[in-house]
Amino acid sequence: MDHVAILRKANIKKDDDLLGDILSGRKTIESRWYANKIAPWDKIRAGDTVYLKESGRAVTAKAEVSKVLQYDNLNTEIKKGIVRKYGKQIAPSTSEDDFLAWLGKQKNKRYCILIFLANVTPVKPFEIDKTGYGNSSAWLVTDNIKKLRK
């Protein structure tokens, strides 16, 4: 399967550079925190390819999925455990305290997916067509990336 992960320029802090951190190898886990089970929940596996783009920009990188962990029925202790174990791989520029403070505001988040990224490489930039996925979709799943290329 192929996936497109749409990243915000800043997520936890204003100066976050998620794509830059992924390309540099500092960020090795893409995390998604949800109130409901939405893509890529149960749709992503080791060996899949994730194409990466910042919101409003072209796809500029890809990575291989080496491992996926899914957590449901999140509570404060489980969230703290995830941050303590994986926080620096998820948000390398964010302190544990800042990450936990951000998560504390995400009280409705009951699900977390950790996608471990490997073999990250830049790609020749290309645009995608999100028709059928909804304007606010931040994760797209397809059997072939060529179907989404403009």
SS3 146: helix
Using alpha carbons only, what angle is made at residue 78 by residues 75 and 80, rounded to the nearest 5 degrees?
105
pLDDT range class, residue 27, cuts 50, 70, 90: very high
**Domains detected in the chain:** 2-140 (2.30.130.30)
> Using one digit for the tens of pLDDT, what is the confidence trace for 60-102?
999 999 999 999 999 999 999 999 999 999 999 899 999 999 9
Both tokens assigned to 63: 């990575």
Beta-ladder partners of 22:
none
CA 84 to CA 73: how far, in whole Å? Answer: 18
pTM of the model: 0.94
Residue 63 belongs to what H/E stretch?
Answer: strand 59-71
